[in-house]
Structure 1
C-alpha cells in the first residue's frame, strides 16, 4: 500500500531504476516469496543497470562516432583478412588498460571506420572516454586554435581522452605545423592513453607519408611500437551485394 508514495519519493531522489523496479515488483504475485534482502538486491541491481546505461549513452554522445557500429554486428564472413582472434582479444579491452594502440589499414570501402567505431563503442561500454576525429578536420582545427587561443585547450582535451579515434590518416600531405601537432598529440598520449588509427596506407608507408624523417621517427616511435595492427584487404563492402 505504501508503494505509490515510495515510488514518487525514489523519483525525487533521482533513483528511477529503483522506482521502476519497485513498481514492477508490486505487479508480481510471486514477489512475496522473496526475502526483504533479495527484493532490495533486485532494486539496487536495477538502479545500477539504469545508471550504467545512462552513463554509456552519455559517453557515446560525447565520442561522436561516425558510425553506430557495435561489435556484435561486425561482418566476419566477408573475405577481407580480418583477424578474428585478434579482434576478439581487442574486445576484452586489455589494450586500453595497457595503453596500447590499434592500427587499421586497408583499401577504401573495406570497413576500417566501422571496425574502429565498433572498438570505440566497446571501450565506451567498458567505461572509457572516447573521441572520434577525422585527421583532415583535426589538423585545421588545431591551426585555427593557434589564432584564437584554443590550441592548448584542444591539446588538453585530446590528451585526457582515454581512447582517441583518428580516421583517414595520411590522406593528404602534412605541413610542418601539422607534423609538429601530431608529435605533440602522441607525445602527450604515449604510455598513458590509447589511440585507434585508420589508413588506406600500410604502416610501412607511414614514415614516408609524414614527410620529415626526424619528425616521422618521433611520431611513429610513440604510435607504432605498442600497437596491434589489423591489416585488411579485399573487395569493398560498399557494393550492394556485400553490405557491411
Structure 2
C-alpha cells in the first residue's frame, strides 16, 4: 500500500520516469541486492532519461522536418563529393554554438534535403530548437502575417529558433516584398543563430535571385561569409537506387 502511494505521489510530482522505475524495482528481485544509494541512483537516472526523451520528441515535433533523417544513415558510398570528416565535425553541433551557417547546393536528387534534415535532427538530439521550411512556404506565411497583423510576432518566433532550415532556396526569383522579408529573417539571425540553406542553384547564382542588388548584398553577406559550404555533385540518388534495384 505504501509503495502504491509513493508511485502516485511521484506521478503527482510529474516524476513519471522515476515512478516507472520504482514500480519496476518493486517487481524485480534483482534490485534487492543493491544498496539504497545504487537503487536511488537508478531511479534518478531513469527520470533524467525520461525527460531527455520527452524533450527530444518535443523538439523533433516542433522542427517539422521534411524527412526522418540521421547523420548515421548518410550514404558515403555513392560519389557526391561529400566529406565524411566535415560531416563528423558538423555532427558535434559546435557550428551552432558558434552561430555559423551551412549552405548546401547541388542538382536535384543528390540528397540536399536529407542532409539538411539529418543535421537538424542532430541539433535536436543535442537540445537545440530547429524548424524546417520550404522557402516558398515561409514566404507565404510571412506574406499572410502582414495581412493579419501577426508579422512582428512571426519574425520574433523565427529569430528565437536556434537552427532554421530553408530548403528549395531559389526555385523561383524573389519579389521585392519576399526579398525584404528574407532580409528581415536573416538579419535577425546574423551572428546569434544558425541557418541551413539548401538550393539547386550554385552559390554564385544566388545574387541574381534578388531584384534589388543592395538587398541581395545584405542577405548574402549575412549568410555566406560565416558559413560551411557543401557542394554536392553527381547523379540523382533516386535514379541510382532505381537502376540498382532494377
Q: In which range does the TM-score fall when normalised by the shorter chain?
A: over 0.9
What's 2:78 paired with? 78
Q: Distance in 1 between matches of 2:116 and 2:36?
A: 45
Q: Distance in 2 between matches of 1:230 and 1:37?
A: 50
What's 2:217 paired with? 217
What's 2:3 paired with? 3
Q: Deviations over 1:116-156 (max 9, x none)?
A: 01100111111111111111111122122222111111111
In the TM superposition, 1:12-161 aligns within 5 A as: 12-161=12-161
Q: Please give the secondary structure, in 2, of the residue aligned with 1:128.
A: coil
215 and 92 in structure 1: CA distance in 2 versus 1, 3 angstrom threshold: same
CA drift at 1:32: 2.4
Q: Please give the secondary structure, in 2, of the residue aligned with 1:33.
A: coil
What's 2:178 paired with? 178
Q: Deviations over 1:14-54 (max 9, x none)?
A: 21111111122223323222211111111001001001101
Q: Distance in 2 between matches of 1:110 and 1:242?
A: 16
Q: Distance in 1 between matches of 2:79 and 2:227?
A: 23
The count of residues paired between Structure 1 and Structure 2 equals 243
What's 1:195 paired with? 195
1:170–1:210 Cα contact (<8 Å) kept: no
242 and 15 in structure 1: CA distance in 2 versus 1, 3 angstrom threshold: farther
Show structure 2 runs of 5+ residues with no match: none
What's 2:227 paired with? 227
CA drift at 1:211: 3.4
Further displaced range: 201-210 or 153-162: 201-210
242 and 113 in structure 1: CA distance in 2 versus 1, 3 angstrom threshold: farther
Further displaced range: 181-190 or 69-78: 69-78
1:129–1:163 Cα contact (<8 Å) kept: yes
2:176–2:210 Cα contact (<8 Å) kept: no
Show structure 1 runs of 5+ residues with no match: none
Q: Please give the secondary structure, in 1, of the residue aligned with 2:238.
A: coil
- Normalised to the residue count of structure 2, the TM-score between the two structures is 0.94
